[in-house]
Amino acid sequence: MINIIDLFAGAGGLSEGFKNKNFNIICHVEMNKSACDTLLTREAFHYLKKDEIYLYEKYLKGEIYRDQFLEYIPKNILKKVLNYEISGQTLDSIFSEIDNLRGNTDINGIVGGPPCQAFSTIGRAVNEGKKSTDKRIYLYTYYVEFLKRYKPDFFLFENVKGLLSFKDEFDEYLLPKIIKAFEDEDYKVYKKVLNSSEFGVPQKRERLFIFGLRNDMNHFNFFDEIYKSTEIPVIIKDLFNDLPKMNSNETKNFYSSSIPNTEFHRYLRNNSNILTLNEARFHNSNDLEIYKIVSSGIQNGVRVKYNEIPENLRKHKNQTVFLDRFKSLKSNDVSHTIVAHISKDGHYYIHPDIEQNRSITIREAARIQSFPDNYYFEGTKSQKFIQIGNAVPPYLSEKIAFTISKIYL
């Protein structure tokens, strides 16, 4: 059994792939309460899936309350989710809980990446003056503390590719400092930007991955190996083809087709016929008119800018910047990157079918991120979208986990 710790766990997209490749998750550490609830629900699913999946299905159908559902789950499973903000004040408490959970078990790996907003190229100019007080920038130092304490065989650190060009408060590139801190703990470090769409995820999503292998391990180039697992993704039209047609402000939690027609659909459906969270937002009539124009344009190869829509539909005074306020998915391509901003509105994620004329549902966003349909997200609608937008796609994570498992062959 390969044992790992999941840091800055979010909704569990990264650890899901490792679980599916038979890694043992000692614990997840996550500061957001809604994400922790999602992690608990998924831990419950993995516990019940072999013999008592009907209990999980009863919960998804609303036939039992959450408290009743969790009573069926052993305490040692529920204790795996540690709701902490990782900081100098909490580190000792987190270590203590992890040590209780692992007993005499070795920690073979640490995975996860700190919040990425500080490193994003979006809003960088606005955040320039906050670097000396933005504690998110230096969360990697706590990651190093976990390496010092547990000395795992490997680690995987994930973040936005904006980290490549990010400079700290001293106007020095931060990434070399992060890599040196990892190397100082006796690790050989590899880094590369991976695009999820190259590995079968229906989304162009570029993220920086840093893989570290302890110097006394048998070495291989992780990124050379993972590129043996490339795969052509399904396009959006096919990704959604077993989901019901629906309009703004509708919920339809059933499949329009009972037969998964691709290998990726079989992965998504996961031997279950229960659909949840297929909920479309309410949109006002003005936005719906814009959606029609933008969606029709993109399907014909035209990206409609905000200053090109009819003047009577424009409600924003500033019409010289942010001209891409509205963006539709393309039917015959993969999606552009799903990000947490999807929680604010659906303007950047308009459904490609003009007859449906709406933004994508929670479940459709989750599918684009390659979460199986039985993956249930807890919290408000906004919190669910944030969890999805911040996640590592589980389908990519599976391939990462499979590649890492070769260390132990």
Task: Please determine, for residue 178, whether its predicted confidence score (pLDDT) is greater than 80.
Answer: yes
pLDDT on residue 343: 92
DSSP letter string, 272-340: -------BPPP--HHHHHHHHHHHHHHHTT----GGGS-GGG---S--SS-TTS--BPPTTS-B----G
pLDDT on residue 120: 58
pLDDT on residue 119: 59
Calpha distance 242→35 (Å, rounded): 28
User: What contacts 404, CB < 8 A, 6 or more positions away?
Assistant: 109, 154, 156, 211, 222
Greater confidence (254 vs 130) lies with: 254
Q: Is residue 250 part of a domain?
A: no
Calpha distance 312→302 (Å, rounded): 21
Calpha distance 119→117 (Å, rounded): 5
pLDDT category at 46 given cuts 50, 70, 90 is: very high
Task: Please determine, for residue 128, whether its predicted confidence score (pLDDT) is greater than 60.
Answer: no
Q: Is residue 157 part of a domain?
A: yes
Least confident of 115-124, 196-205, 228-237: 115-124
Q: Is residue 123 part of a domain?
A: yes
pLDDT category at 218 given cuts 50, 70, 90 is: confident
Q: Is residue 25 part of a domain?
A: yes
Mean pLDDT of the region 256-276: 86
Q: What are the tens digits of pLDDT across the range 381-395? A: 999 999 999 999 999
Calpha distance 25→80 (Å, rounded): 8
Task: Please determine, for residue 300, whether its predicted confidence score (pLDDT) is greater than 80.
Answer: yes
Calpha distance 151→227 (Å, rounded): 27
Number of structural domains, the chain? 1
Domain residues for 13?
A: 2-229+393-408
Calpha distance 268→371 (Å, rounded): 7
Task: Please determine, for residue 294, whether its predicted confidence score (pLDDT) is greater than 90.
Answer: yes
Across the chain, mean pLDDT equals 92
The whole-model pTM stands at: 0.94
The closest of 33, 15, 115, 4 to 377, measured between CA atoms, is 33
Q: Is residue 35 part of a domain?
A: yes
- What DSSP state is assigned to residue 213? E
Question: Residue 224 burial by CB count (10 A; 0-12/13-18/19+): exposed, middle or buried?
Answer: exposed
> Domain containing 115 — which CATH number?
3.40.50.150
Instruction: To the nearest 10°, report the CA torsion of 124, 14, 243, 285.
Output: -20
Q: Is residue 362 part of a domain?
A: no
Q: Is residue 380 part of a domain?
A: no
pLDDT on residue 129: 52
Q: Is residue 240 part of a domain?
A: no
**Residue 105 vs residues 9, 26, 102, 213: alpha-carbon distances, Å:** 21, 9, 5, 19
pLDDT on residue 134: 60
Whether residue 242 contacts residue 260, with contact meaning beta carbons closer than 8 Å, is answered with yes
pLDDT category at 319 given cuts 50, 70, 90 is: confident
Which pair of tokens denotes residue 74?
Answer: 């052993």
| Marked catalytic residue, from 27, 36, 116, 386 | 116
pLDDT on residue 117: 63
> 140 has which bridge partners?
none
Is 36 among the catalytic positions?
no
